[in-house]
Structure 1
């Protein structure tokens, strides 16, 4: 199974911590953020991992190497200037193969087991949604009977964890573009499934939330 970790962002909200250290290499609970992902991916049975790189990306590649110490095979997708989520995934498609793959934001922490969902033949994506945090009270999408919609009541927040078919991106030209418009277009055709994860999740986007995650992990509250 293949997965991609999005690790190219500048981490503006995390400054000054990210001025000299890429956000995925910030520490919480005695490990870097990206190492938490890699260990969970290995435990879930993933073997081939793609990591996109931009801001201080050489530090990430030097720190992780080929992934052998995690029991994984890591390949890198350098971007120069970050291509946003959609563009980063589009650039990495040759490394991700022709089957459904997992993508996870490098700056979230979640206890989801990362077990691949049974994606229906018609579907292009499956998203993990979570309760709206205080800093994002209006959510992103609505979930009804296992289907994700761009509009609707009882909105939830996209966790940054999703499974995608390459077809979602393949017809889009390479370059810098966001993921959300592609997802909304697929939702309009009822081609996106989803689930509501009720466990632990945190958008580790600020120094305060990084400290919160560190406190959780040090206390053993995984």
Structure 2
């Protein structure tokens, strides 16, 4: 699942006419980077959720897309804006899409640049065989989030620590594997038929407290393209 429903308020005015995942980074729309990386790992059945300017995504991507050297991607959509008039936040959007997803599935953000991250069948198989309900890729805290999001134990358990505490050394990259069972107790029925908005972070923290979230550190290039300045830096560095 490729998350693409957000408004991108901090990116205005760039996002007034173009959804943030379709802004260009190093020669192509930002969301192409994770979509291509998933396809290189063999994950060619991809679902995109939409809300703000949602009609632009099927117009741009269609139902199939083929890039040179990458297996053809088959695309489905979850149109939150069309169905409910608004985005459903991350967890609400995932629960809405659950009927279209496998028992174990990736979630990536369409507005994060992580060109070196590899999506492997081995990672999915290890996670599927584990007791964890979610597996997160974490990055060392960037300058824009010095207090961090989570800690990580020596045994690979993601820890729910207070922001800014000594062990809160990592920021959630937004890339993760989930089992459908992770969302079983979220309070929403599968498919989220009423279109209830629901945040993901509280669900993750509750699962961490039960020891059900594993993780690993990604040390490669990573940018949360959240501001025009970060977008300009990315494009400037490609010159």
Q: Is 1:170 equivalent to 2:198 in the alignment?
A: no
Q: Hey, what's the Cα distance between the residues in 2 that align with 1:148 and 1:165?
A: 16
1:122 maps to 131
Q: Hey, what's the Cα distance between the residues in 2 that align with 1:157 and 1:115?
A: 21
- Where does 1:13-52 land on structure 2 (aligned, <5 Å)? 13-52=10-49
CA offset digits 1:108-139 (Å, max 9, x no partner): 11121122521143210000000111111011
Paired residues of 1:103 and 1:161 also in contact (CA < 8 A): yes
Give the match's secondary structure for 1:51.
strand
Q: Is 1:82 equivalent to 2:87 in the alignment?
A: yes
Paired residues of 1:140 and 1:157 also in contact (CA < 8 A): yes
1:150 maps to 160
**Matched residue count:** 214
Give the match's secondary structure for 1:114.
coil
Give the match's secondary structure for 1:38.
helix
**Unmatched runs of 5 consecutive residues or more in structure 1:** none
Q: Is 1:195 equivalent to 2:216 in the alignment?
A: yes
2:8 maps to 11
Paired residues of 2:149 and 2:168 also in contact (CA < 8 A): no
Q: Is 1:160 equivalent to 2:169 in the alignment?
A: no
Paired residues of 2:135 and 2:213 also in contact (CA < 8 A): yes
CA offset digits 1:173-209 (Å, max 9, x no partner): 1310110111111111101110011111000011111
2:51 maps to 54
RMSD: 1.3
Q: TM-score, normalised by structure 2?
A: 0.86
Q: TM-score, normalised by structure 1?
A: 0.92
Moved runs in structure 1, 4+ residues, more than 3 A? Answer: none
Paired residues of 2:51 and 2:87 also in contact (CA < 8 A): yes
